[in-house]
Structure formats: structure tokens, C-alpha cells
């Protein structure tokens, strides 16, 4: 039997992955919601054919989109899954156990999210990518409306830990990975930045080595062979590109100012 649980997913042009995501949820929850921001491919048709409710909402940002989605859920217990993630059978069984014989008291649970490289059947050995709240009761938490860093903010409760993971398929192919990271860095660079120009220039130098170390060593992409190295390299390059794009935008804006204003600034 399906659980009294709502699962919500935000999408845009995810026809290559949404079917796999929804198939893993088919017997788990009795309310599956897809909030689409204007797909031009078959994403909506696939979701509707797999019994998901589909609602359109124009894109404002990751946090805003997820906050809207959770508000449309029919149940108080909700699970957020991205369109490129898959609930493993082990995770589904662990969630079922929580709801047996009845839903647990309001709370929140962290879930490990592990990356699967293109062409691989499972995550690399010793993967430790992300561990964040994804299963929670709406009485104790909600997504913050941040356009880029979407996280659940909890009130007066500490999250418990689920052992089984979500598998994350962020890359259809390596060519698409480069395009995706370029688009994401451009989007992040368009957001307001509180850092001064001097600080951004300092970060331009430090951003790559710090983020490569974080990804390759701390998140154990070194166990992924050449794919792990390439993944970590491009993640670090994306973060560096974001800084360069912010600096470029500021320089362009400054050059458009009248000469006197520029001198005063």
C-alpha cells in the first residue's frame, strides 16, 4: 500500500530522467506532485502518464520553487526528490518502516545523496556527496526561499538520520555536464553578491583549489577514477567561473556609468 506521504519534484525539460525518478516512487506515496517551470520537451506528458499531479509555476529560483511545491502537497509529511534523483529500494523500505503502523510524530530526516557518473550502474565506493533534510513534517520545517541554495529550515527540532541513500544522476553525458555547469554558474552570478571587488579577486585565486580539494578529497571523488577527477575538476571550475562572471558584470556596469561617477566610485 502507498503511504500517506506527499513527494514533490520540480522540473524543467527532464524527459531523459523523470520517468526513472517517478517509477521508483510509484508504490511509495499516494500523492506525487510535479511543479514544472515551462518544459518544452515531454516532461509533463511523462509525469502525467505516471499518475503525477502536474502544476505549472514560472521559475523564480530553486528555493522559491520548492517552497511553492511543498505548499501544494496534500499531506503534512513530505519528501523532496529532484528530477535527476532516484529513491533506492532500501530507502523506500526504510521510509515504509517509519510509517508502520502509522505516521511518526512530526520530525525531519537527513538523507544521503550519492552521485552516479554517466555509464555507471551505482555510486563510486565510499561516496559521501551530500547529507541533507529531504523527508520532513511541514509543522517543523520548510524550504527557505533562496534562489540558489535550497535547504529546509527546521524549527526547534534536530534531524534524525536515514541510512539508505538517494542516488543522484546529475549528468546525462559529459558534454551536457559542461553546458549544465556553465548555465548554473551564469545563474549564480546573476544573484546579488555582498562581497567587495577585492574579496572577489582574492576568491578568484582560491576558489578552484579549495573546491577541488573539497570535491575530490573530502567528498571522495578520488575513488571514482578518471570520472571522479573530471567531475571534481569541473565542479571547481564552475565555482571559479561564477566569480569571474560576477567580476565581469560589475566591470561592465561600471563602464556604463558617466566618467565623473566612475571616478567618485
Split at pLDDT 50, 70, 90, the class of 4 is very high
Please say whether the beta carbons of 99 and 78 come within 8 A. Answer: no
Bridge partners (DSSP) listed for residue 137: 77
**Average pLDDT, integer, range 3-26:** 96
CA angle 84, 86, 89 (to 5 degrees): 175
Give the domain ranges of the chain. Answer: 3-168, 174-258
Question: 146-201 pLDDT, tens per residue?
Answer: 888 899 999 999 999 999 999 999 998 998 888 888 888 888 888 788 888 888 89
Percentage of residues in the chain with pLDDT exceeding 90? 78
The superfamily in CATH containing domain 3-168 is Spore Coat Polysaccharide Biosynthesis Protein SpsA; Chain A (3.90.550.10)
Q: Which of 53-57, 108-112, 252-256 has the lowest mean pLDDT?
A: 252-256
Q: Which of 19-23, 134-138, 258-262 has the lowest mean pLDDT?
A: 258-262
The per-residue pLDDT of the chain, averaged, comes to: 92
Strands (E), the chain: 3-11, 29-36, 53-56, 77-80, 85-87, 108-115, 130-137, 141-143, 152-154, 160-161, 166-168
- The pLDDT of residue 226 is 97
The total number of residues shown for the chain amounts to 265
**Average pLDDT, integer, range 23-31:** 94
For residue 21, pLDDT beyond 60: yes
> What is the rounded distance in angstroms from the CA atom of residue 235 to the CA atom of residue 170?
12
- The pLDDT of residue 235 is 93
- The pLDDT of residue 109 is 98
Question: 94-146 pLDDT, tens per residue?
Answer: 999 999 999 999 999 999 999 999 999 999 999 999 999 999 999 999 999 98
- The pLDDT of residue 259 is 59
Report CA dihedral (62, 187, 240, 172) to the nearest 10 degrees: 70
**Average pLDDT, integer, range 3-29:** 96
Which residues does 79 contact at the CB level (< 8 Å), separation at least 6?
Answer: 5, 6, 7, 8, 29, 87, 95, 134, 135
Question: 199-242 pLDDT, tens per residue?
Answer: 889 999 999 999 999 999 999 999 999 999 999 999 999 999 99
For residue 76, pLDDT beyond 50: yes
**What are the helix (H) ranges across 24-88?**
43-49, 62-71
Amino acid at each position: 500500500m502507498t503511504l500517506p506521504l506527499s513527494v514533490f519534484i520540480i522540473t524543467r525539460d527532464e524527459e531523459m530522467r523523470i520517468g526513472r525518478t517517478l517509477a521508483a516512487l510509484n508504490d511509495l506515496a499516494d500523492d506525487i506532485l510535479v511543479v514544472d517551470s515551462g518544459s518544452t520537451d515531454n516532461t509533463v506528458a511523462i509525469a502525467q502518464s505516471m499518475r503525477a499531479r502536474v502544476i505549472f509555476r514560472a521559475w523564480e529560483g530553486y528555493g522559491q520553487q520548492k517552497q511553492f511545491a511543498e505548499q501544494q502537497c496534500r499531506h503534512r509529511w513530505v519528501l523532496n526528490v529532484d528530477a535527476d534523483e532516484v529513491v533506492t529500494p532500501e530507502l523506500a523500505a526504510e521510509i515504509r518502516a517509519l510509517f508502520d503502523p502509522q505516521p511518526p510524530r512530526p520530525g525531519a530526516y537527513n538523507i544521503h545523496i550519492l552521485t552516479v557518473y554517466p555509464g555507471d550502474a551505482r555510486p563510486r565506493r565510499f561516496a559521501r556527496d551530500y547529507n541533507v533534510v529531504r523527508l520532513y513534517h511541514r509543522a517543523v520545517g520548510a524550504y527557505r526561499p533562496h534562489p540558489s541554495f535550497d535547504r529546509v529550515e527546521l524549527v526547534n527540532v534536530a534531524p534524525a538520520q536515514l541510512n539508505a541513500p538517494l542516488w543522484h544522476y546529475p549528468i546525462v553525458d559529459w558534454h551536457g555536464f559542461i553546458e549544465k555547469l556553465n548555465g548554473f554558474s551564469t545563474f549564480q552570478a546573476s544573484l546579488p553578491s555582498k562581497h567587495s571587488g577585492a574579496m572577489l579577486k582574492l576568491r578568484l585565486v582560491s576558489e578552484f583549489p579549495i573546491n577541488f580539494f573539497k570535491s575530490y578529497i573530502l567528498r571522495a571523488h578520488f575513488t571514482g577514477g578518471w570520472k571522479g577527477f573530471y567531475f571534481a575538476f569541473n565542479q571547481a571550475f564552475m565555482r571559479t567561473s561564477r566569480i569571474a562572471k560576477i567580476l565581469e558584470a560589475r566591470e561592465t556596469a561600471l563602464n556604463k556609468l558617466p566618467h565623473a561617477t566612475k571616478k567618485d566610485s
